[in-house]
Structure 1
């Protein structure tokens, strides 16, 4: 039959040799029939794999400019603004139905070609007259589930860009009547997407470890679509459908329904072992868990990374190359530079408050400083949200974390019998309890001399029922304290219920006091020991393990990123200098400082991750029941959760204080949107968020930067406005459909499918 003819090497052009949304599965010259294709297990499996080949890679992928999507948002400004290409066209408002700078490879045609593949597979695999190959039922269900969700995902990408699109769920026959085609509404498309995901989730998981539509996959199955992926698609679809851009009177996608769908997606992932990534990295690898997460490639088995639902398959972000600092080996251009508006969005760690509440002028050079935040405009990068340091290179930030390997010599110490007003119990974990004033205890001797010219640090892990103030350490020989830390140092050991690392650098004290009597050529002899003075009173209980002195020669200080005018990475407004930032900042997120021409260790973009599901739920729930009302769970083992609690879980991972209870709906919305902005920065969310919230007119007219000049040992900070873009008007809420597609469908249907304003 004609409808069963299929060409293995299928061409993009089908109907009259033209690309079209409508030409999704026209038959070919009969070189292979569908019966031939689906009569073989291997050919069927290959066809199933081909449905994945339309999956988009995220990163520096936008046309010839090799820019990220962030370059086309208020997240930043690209240093390729003066070079012909996508960035220059966007910033100069040269977008049209024939030239869309952000369409890139993943266009209307691209996704419909992927949908065509999925339609052919789903129709054929279920037809017993076509699919005659023996395939294990669990394996077949796994393929069907994956392809259903892939089709849903391709449709989600289309509606995010273009709004409602034609819904096509069967292969087109040769005699298809294109005049009957129509653009569905956004709501109808959302229904279709969620129905595909539900159909996949209704399939059994399978009876064996490597087949079926599953939650868990192995590390060698990277790229397999899972049940978590299906729930993530549902969550994002429902959130978008309930958002102001698409939520119209009478829509079924209310905030209440979005809350139900997003909560189910979050709960299902949590009950199946997903967790936020909290692994502390080695100090020479990344600054914190958040930074580490974005340079560490995910492991699909989730043995280490339990947060990632799906990650780009092959394209590393290449920040070092396409948005690198001028002092990065092999960097080709500065590329994307974060905006001052984004930098202002990172809160203060001590207070949890936003440092800047807005601007008193239209150019964003006069910030409204939040006096409760603890922000110092003369030291603007001190005390900020840890995600800031993981995401942005700012003036005098270290380009690398270390310049070499630290080799330490350890001097383990135990506690000796000599003590005063303190009880000592235990061996590996020693409990010290003070009984009166002036409590102190001696340690065992060093055992070997500490050489001069090195850094010496006292370290241990501890738990303490109270904060210990006025603690002191002394180097001692028989007869009492000699040198060491002077009285009045007021060393503080904070109260801690969990094991906490304590460090105290002895170097300055040794420089001042030496090692006391019997020292030899600037060394601490092996018979020296420490006296540990705890505090001045009774009732302090501190448990200590791994008490030691660490002796090492630290590596040279890392080279600083100098973004001040004339610095090694100095700001430049010269459009011919693409190697220098336009905003005063460089991109750090995803960037492994060890990357260069010989190794690319930059991270891959996350397509879906658990943090997004927390934020999706928080947005929906705060709009439906308020910020503080707990929403019950339908999943076994999942707890009730409020919008505020969901946001605070994200903030806690980052090391930020919790949002308080009782925030008004308006204030919580500001704080929630701010949280989404910094947590998901540069991950291709902001472009769509400001559109679905219908705040594009407020955010994307231009961005600002920070021009810093050095004055002796101090700096002068001046905010400035970059060029107007003209891309914040209403027509930019949706992307233009390619003119050739619009013209063809106008001729077929008599209806203009083009989006407003294009």
Structure 2
């Protein structure tokens, strides 16, 4: 068989990065056959991993990976508008088939390379003459299911950007006849996407906790594609296919069909334990459950976060750095400043009404105010949807959620002897604790200085851990005293983490109850006090720690507010050379943990799929097909009937927003639905595509506006203003241009023009 002899060029640190050269037993020219790959368990597993490596890291992926996609939509205006690069090119209409500012790191070539990997894997793993490795059937099915869905996801990303693309489901042979290739229609591509997902979902479910194509995975399997991911792909693909940009008369993807598919996806996830994240954080952690959700790292086991279906695995958003306020230490630029149009979309919490119903002028400077909303244009940021406070820094919004977050005394510590059932190694500023048996513990060095009086004292560090520690404990001790001391608290949890994560534990209550060093012998002074750290009760735990310290918060005045008024500490600027200041009068807050800074990045990672999106997808399809209030029957065992309005109200209830009333017309409900989708999914890479598939780009993206605030005595004057025309709202911008080199190449092969209209 020809493909059995087809040679793969192997890049050592790519496909086979997990094996040594000796293990590979490569020929001297560095190549091996597909039979060599799929005849070996570890090499087959590595090829599966190579396919997964093409999953995009969604986040700040533009302008040299320093700007989010929101900056290229009506969600935001970026402060890099005067700097050379993607933002400036987009805002000045310099997009072309040879210069696509929104191509980012993941575009046509990237996804087709991923598809080629998937095709090679799926073709060869199914060929018994090539796939001769001894692999457990459940494990193999798990890989096959994931790669089917991954290929479907790659195609979904392509058609969202370019429309119909060639459907390639086998590895190209050397003799492949490119003249026979063609661009499939959008409908045909969606057929293929759904078929791939259904092929994966048809694989048998197993009782195995570690193998098979599963619903449930462990925290150590972050990045694994699950059944929920397959349903999420189906939901989004069907929704797009039924949308105005892509639906054609006679297509099978009607709103009725989209309702069926999106309801099944939602029902399946609900019956398998997914639910909206509603955990209310402490006041000094985040403003509300919605804010907390977007800074909290998801746990794939869904022990805490039951909403996330899939999250970027490594790329933190870096809001603090690339969209930070000027008063944030280490921030490099203001980045994506939320637009006034987005701010206007956040409703009023007391009434549930939209404050702004539209604009009476073409410049968006004269808002049509809703008198029933309770909105006060002289106090525009009071009483808004809680998602507003979680997503936007506005004038006089608190930069921090607790006093003392900036001014604090630090008491650095390191681990030292004595220790018990612990191996301790030090590498520069990092120390690694490895537990070897039961009752492990290790001392810290002494404080060296007396703790100053303060409201709060916190033990903190950054760490990586191979497992979750569920019963850690700290003890107050005194030099020269007993080995033990007084416990600061039991059952402290340190979550498993593969990248640097901040840990905090508040010692204040324990200090208040017991004092510090209550077991002292001879009244030693407080600077000789230290801690004993008991990581867990067993062996096999490995925790690497840096920046171990006690932080003493010293009662400073209230946290410095973000002043966006002209001349304020974060004041608005129209000077294109000042990239540290907002262009719109607002800064991005979503994903931003106010504790992030140069020492530790605790900002959230973007969710690629989450349950909230599935509720919205279903609501859109349902109101279009049967109206806002008609209940759609369950599509999975154990699920219940649901209407479009009820789906939206579940989203709103999570943030304590009043429910939408019954009886809205389809047209009025559409306004409320699109508004809800805009604020719920803000900055999550949906708006850019939504306004295109709805074919309202010409209404939304010509320009955005901001708010210039002037301080007048004890009050403020608010003045809306228009930013530059972008001219990125014509019909040709509904689709992205295919790279001219690719389009030219395919035209030479097929004789057909492959380029998208207008490019």
Same fold (TM > 0.5): yes
- For the aligned residue pairs, the C-alpha RMSD in angstroms reads 1.8
The 1-side partners of 2:714 and 2:627 are apart by 49
The 2-side partners of 1:29 and 1:351 are apart by 72
The 1-side partners of 2:181 and 2:39 are apart by 32
- 1:65/1:85 contact within 8 Å kept: no
The 1-side partners of 2:353 and 2:323 are apart by 30
The 1-side partners of 2:698 and 2:400 are apart by 38
1:607 aligns to 2:647 (yes or no): no
Over residues 266-311 of structure 1, what are the superposed CA-to-partner deviations in whole Å (9 max), with x where a residue is unaligned?
0000000000000010110100000000000000000000000000
Partner of 2:718: 717
The 1-side partners of 2:156 and 2:243 are apart by 15
The 1-side partners of 2:147 and 2:375 are apart by 50
Partner of 1:752: 753
Partner of 2:523: none
- 1:402/1:555 contact within 8 Å kept: no
Q: Report SS of the residue matched to 2:64.
A: helix
- 1:203/1:213 contact within 8 Å kept: yes
The CA deviation at 1:128 is 0.3
Partner of 2:459: none
Q: Report SS of the residue matched to 2:621.
A: helix
1:91 aligns to 2:91 (yes or no): yes
The 2-side partners of 1:76 and 1:361 are apart by 20
Partner of 1:318: 318
The CA deviation at 1:654 is 1.2
Over residues 371-422 of structure 1, what are the superposed CA-to-partner deviations in whole Å (9 max), with x where a residue is unaligned?
000000000000000000000000000000002389xxxxxxxxxxxxxxxx
Q: Report SS of the residue matched to 2:578.
A: coil
Q: Report SS of the residue matched to 1:54.
A: coil
Q: Report SS of the residue matched to 1:353.
A: coil
Over residues 175-194 of structure 1, what are the superposed CA-to-partner deviations in whole Å (9 max), with x where a residue is unaligned?
00000000000000000000
The 1-side partners of 2:598 and 2:370 are apart by 43
For residues 174-185 of structure 1, the aligned pairs below 5 Å read 174-185=174-185
Aligned residues, how many? Answer: 600
For residues 671-710 of structure 1, the aligned pairs below 5 Å read 671-710=672-711
Partner of 1:112: 112
The 2-side partners of 1:76 and 1:713 are apart by 29
The 1-side partners of 2:110 and 2:564 are apart by 40
The 1-side partners of 2:332 and 2:252 are apart by 49
- 1:319/1:587 contact within 8 Å kept: yes
The 2-side partners of 1:598 and 1:30 are apart by 42
Partner of 1:45: 45
Q: Report SS of the residue matched to 1:565.
A: coil
The 1-side partners of 2:166 and 2:93 are apart by 28
Partner of 1:635: 636
- 1:141/1:213 contact within 8 Å kept: yes
The CA deviation at 1:652 is 0.3
The CA deviation at 1:666 is 0.4
Partner of 2:127: 127
The 2-side partners of 1:336 and 1:559 are apart by 22
- 1:7/1:30 contact within 8 Å kept: no
The CA deviation at 1:58 is 1.0
1:390 aligns to 2:390 (yes or no): yes
The 1-side partners of 2:717 and 2:612 are apart by 37
The 2-side partners of 1:613 and 1:8 are apart by 41
Partner of 2:71: 71
The CA deviation at 1:31 is 1.7
The CA deviation at 1:3 is 1.9
The 2-side partners of 1:170 and 1:194 are apart by 17
Partner of 2:335: 335
Partner of 2:744: 743
- 1:158/1:165 contact within 8 Å kept: yes
1:60 aligns to 2:55 (yes or no): no
Partner of 2:139: 139
The 2-side partners of 1:652 and 1:368 are apart by 27
1:572 aligns to 2:573 (yes or no): yes
Over residues 223-269 of structure 1, what are the superposed CA-to-partner deviations in whole Å (9 max), with x where a residue is unaligned?
00000000000000000000000011101000000000000000000
With over 3 angstroms needed to count, the CA separation of the structure-2 counterparts of 1:583 and 1:206, relative to structure 1, is same
- 1:65/1:80 contact within 8 Å kept: no
Partner of 1:448: none
Partner of 1:377: 377
- 2:392/2:590 contact within 8 Å kept: yes
- 1:234/1:262 contact within 8 Å kept: yes
Partner of 1:350: 350
The CA deviation at 1:553 is 10
Partner of 2:164: 164
The CA deviation at 1:9 is 2.2
For residues 208-607 of structure 1, the aligned pairs below 5 Å read 208-404=208-404, 556-607=557-608
The 2-side partners of 1:324 and 1:568 are apart by 13
Q: Report SS of the residue matched to 1:230.
A: helix
Partner of 1:617: 618
The 1-side partners of 2:664 and 2:192 are apart by 37
- 2:10/2:31 contact within 8 Å kept: no
Query: Between Structure 1 and Structure 2, whose CA radius of gyration is higher?
Result: 1
Partner of 1:478: none
The CA deviation at 1:207 is 3.6
- 1:65/1:86 contact within 8 Å kept: no
Q: Report SS of the residue matched to 1:294.
A: helix
The CA deviation at 1:29 is 8.2
The 1-side partners of 2:29 and 2:404 are apart by 63
- 1:3/1:174 contact within 8 Å kept: no
Q: Report SS of the residue matched to 2:276.
A: coil
The 2-side partners of 1:288 and 1:555 are apart by 24
Q: Report SS of the residue matched to 1:104.
A: coil
With over 3 angstroms needed to count, the CA separation of the structure-2 counterparts of 1:589 and 1:94, relative to structure 1, is same
For residues 2-41 of structure 1, the aligned pairs below 5 Å read 2-4=2-4, 5-9=6-10, 31-41=31-41
So what's the TM-score if we normalise by structure 2? Answer: 0.78
Partner of 1:193: 193
Over residues 486-519 of structure 1, what are the superposed CA-to-partner deviations in whole Å (9 max), with x where a residue is unaligned?
xxxxxxxxxxxxxxxxxxxxxxxxxxxxxxxxxx
The CA deviation at 1:64 is 2.2
Structure 2 residues without counterparts, runs of 5 or longer: 13-27, 407-453, 456-552
The CA deviation at 1:555 is 5.8
The 2-side partners of 1:229 and 1:662 are apart by 34
- 2:405/2:595 contact within 8 Å kept: no
The CA deviation at 1:107 is 1.5
